[in-house]
Structure 1
């Protein structure tokens, strides 16, 4: 509970992490305490069921568990707790293997080439790896697969949006409650911390970020050091040879073995530690229906590590929380509406989707301005161009951990692109299809150019055209930050209740329409805290 003694919180997390270790020792794909750990089958009914274990699902699981509500979490990806042949759970960016990629035979990073050579991606064995790339016409959506969702594969930049951006994205949500109550709560629970400015200024591992900052400053742009969920004290011990390396060993998009406070080590560990939450992985939820008595029933497929379906089951619940991400939650609801199992769902379902204005690009630096052969994979510098005539731009200085000097400054710009796509259900493929025109990414490219053209002029740098498989300088055909599809106040009410189906809630990034101006996971977490607190009080009868 909020206000719980630190000793109680520590004990709860200890119990949750012990359950993870126990699952690893037993070779299980579930996390639970006591008799729940020994149960081989899914229950036919649980009071609360959570689909997905990313930020929204993790918040829901913890707060339901704290409230004494027996809760089952179903996650399509693996429980990442067993070491591979190299003795580590996750593989590095530089040496990817089957652990890297979800059910494909080749890795698929946004950076496809270097000097137009296909030296970035590798052939791999098909496996339920940790990073998925969902392909739609004209757009690819990256998402994490595993217990912890996107927290396993992101760079951990824990940014709170400006009030202006929050009001634009979520006009019905009180900014005062978010900034005074829910953002601080989310940051505490996520374990947000800040890099030491003094260490940042001298360490070789962030030379690339200091170069990007200096280039931006020469063009009159501000830059900021950004908080993160990676443990910076651990990173400093990595640099000093006193701790095993992770951020300093080219680990990030395929998972971090050490240092990162991903959800399986924070929210989800605490949820299991309540004794009321059980997490089952390699479970794919396909549809939802509602019985006449109000019971919500989900169809669940158990898969193995090659993606083969082993069995199908149904599980009923009283309260169902969807946290499968923008793509997954929207697809599940669209399928349920279009196949007739939940025919009363809103006509607004599927709308308001956006990329959070993501666009990636690189700049080629002169030989006297190296970025360093040793680069921390955890980004900490954001270039902040609030006065851009085409809309605010927040650009991360992104590592390129090649292990050698590349003279490349790589950036991921987040723009407030107003363009929106929508999902429709394609019955032929039994999946949601995103309608997104290639030209809809142009506002992001235009805004990024307006920020970085002056940077190039001020520093004698040029855009790289060899990084994305063709000659384009800006890559806007993918997103790390998919948002929308089940927009708050449209497809749901003002607290995530799905219109047309009592007892059904959305709790992830699909609630946020299109863009929030910065990395979105802290906003998703805080919004979930707000919504779940209200639902517990108003619908379940639990007050905090």
Structure 2
């Protein structure tokens, strides 16, 4: 009998999803476990366990469809009493996906041992693209902001068949409930590690701008335990970009994924990196993976087959897999529009000095508030109170902004010489309009706050929100079915047409996936 949701979440909270999988399938060494672990064909296979893949896994499992989820990264345990992840305050080899040195805003290059770390940073032409690598995908490394786009930008981005009223009434609330999103409580906001958040709000208020609380998926009870020094410090000292090992973040391993495994119809295999996809003569999809150790050694390769293939590897890797499959001839019927319309969501990080007012020995990472500017600058933008870990004592405040940029787009192309897919036509200039808007906001705040030095620092072009390449309504139908290839679906940030409409995209990605899966399950494909 399928495990109940309460039991599933209890096991996930105490330990690992691997433990939950063993509880559902039977212990290692059992006949059921051996049969399950040796299985290579599934009715449905999901590539990736992030916001799209986790939704697909849960809805397929609850529909009774035997499903395999393959994830290239590790499963990271919740460890309430010890540190699991590295951070800008303490670099470790587990932070980056197969890099020989660190590459991150404001983090000096530091040698690290290449391996299956939690964050991939791809140095594309004119842009660094960051994406999560682990069970839970981007939910491990994002900063929890869970916000819906304004109606007018949603309607500008998506085809008329995606109605904003439907998302506002059904899909956004459904995802918020599953993720457990809520604003920062007042007692946390008033605590010492969030002095910088209050000061950020004061600066904007003095400029005449209104800020408002942003919903977040941080676990405020864990944050309170950090404040009481009964849990290892993580969220309250600015950790988030490379994970919060003490459970301070409600990642997908706390909700969607354990609920999927508890159906008894879903298996999840970590450290299985998909290298190629294609279609066999019998019509089944073929998915070739390499199996990795936690240290990065290759254990071997394997092939899985399926009837329905859900590609949810994240924007960067979904485009890599599908563009290569089309141009190598493995899936030659994929549409020509595939790989086009990529955007960086207008991501910008700015630093400005502040009056020499002590704002805490550490800065907490959960984002407390934001301010939206639809008409004040070159481009509309949402500014958010942010933190730059490792620089707590510097008298400066950080703003992260996501900008409504409908013009600047790039294309993923396959190079037959290198056999690699890369962002071919992006340049630093395509980020300039967003950067200009962010700098103008900073300049106005500086002018309104006496004693603040007239200096704004921005980072090199960088995005943690890559979007597009498989735009919904263009490369796919409105439920993620890829045109021209029956049984193939895309359910991740590549559906979003290059920009999320002035918001962090996680809520939109999961909501698009929820709506898509409702239709796919209802119509059995």
Task: Give the shorter-chain TM-score range.
Answer: over 0.9
1:355 corresponding residue in structure 2: 344
State yes or no: 1:71 paired with 2:67: yes
- CA shift for structure 1 position 400: 2.6
State yes or no: 1:521 paired with 2:506: yes
State yes or no: 1:208 paired with 2:196: yes
1:455 corresponding residue in structure 2: 445
- CA shift for structure 1 position 463: 5.7
For the 8 Å contact 1:325–1:510, the answer to whether it is kept is yes
Rounded Cα–Cα distance in structure 1 between residues aligned with 2:53 and 2:17: 21
1:495 corresponding residue in structure 2: 479
- CA shift for structure 1 position 409: 0.6
Rounded Cα–Cα distance in structure 1 between residues aligned with 2:296 and 2:18: 24
For the 8 Å contact 2:25–2:36, the answer to whether it is kept is no
Q: Deviations over 1:197-218 (max 9, x none)?
A: 3541x21111111111111111
3-state SS of 1:533 partner: helix
3-state SS of 1:310 partner: strand
Aligned residue among 148, 168, 171 for 1:182: 171
Alignment of 1:39-58 (within 5 A): 41-58=37-54
Aligned residue among 271, 281, 293 for 1:282: 271
Rounded Cα–Cα distance in structure 1 between residues aligned with 2:391 and 2:346: 29
3-state SS of 1:222 partner: coil
3-state SS of 1:264 partner: helix
2:25 corresponding residue in structure 1: 33
Rounded Cα–Cα distance in structure 1 between residues aligned with 2:146 and 2:374: 19
3-state SS of 2:315 partner: helix
Aligned residue among 236, 245, 249 for 2:233: 245
Rounded Cα–Cα distance in structure 2 between residues aligned with 1:371 and 1:354: 35
2:311 corresponding residue in structure 1: 322
3-state SS of 1:189 partner: helix
State yes or no: 1:483 paired with 2:467: yes
Structure 2: runs of 5 or more not aligned: none
3-state SS of 1:361 partner: strand
Rounded Cα–Cα distance in structure 2 between residues aligned with 1:75 and 1:453: 43
Alignment of 1:82-481 (within 5 A): 87-112=82-107, 120-172=108-160, 173-200=162-189, 202-257=190-245, 258-367=247-356, 369-402=357-390, 404-418=392-406, 419-434=408-423, 435-460=425-450, 461-462=452-453, 464=455, 473-481=457-465
RMSD: 2.4
For the 8 Å contact 1:360–1:476, the answer to whether it is kept is no
Bigger shift: residues 431-440 or 386-395? 386-395
Q: Are residues 105 and 289 of structure 1, via their aligned partners in 2, closer, same or farther at CA, if it must alter by over 3 Å? A: closer
Q: Deviations over 1:56-94 (max 9, x none)?
A: 00000011011111110000111113879x943223330
Rounded Cα–Cα distance in structure 2 between residues aligned with 1:212 and 1:255: 24
- CA shift for structure 1 position 19: 7.8
1:509 corresponding residue in structure 2: 493
TM-score (norm 2): 0.92
- CA shift for structure 1 position 363: 0.2
Rounded Cα–Cα distance in structure 2 between residues aligned with 1:219 and 1:270: 46
Rounded Cα–Cα distance in structure 1 between residues aligned with 2:391 and 2:105: 18
Q: Are residues 22 and 337 of structure 1, via their aligned partners in 2, closer, same or farther at CA, if it must alter by over 3 Å? A: closer
For the 8 Å contact 2:235–2:244, the answer to whether it is kept is yes
Q: Are residues 249 and 216 of structure 1, via their aligned partners in 2, closer, same or farther at CA, if it must alter by over 3 Å? A: closer
Runs of 4+ deviating beyond 6 Å: none
Rounded Cα–Cα distance in structure 2 between residues aligned with 1:332 and 1:21: 26
3-state SS of 1:484 partner: strand
Rounded Cα–Cα distance in structure 2 between residues aligned with 1:474 and 1:404: 17
Rounded Cα–Cα distance in structure 1 between residues aligned with 2:437 and 2:337: 29
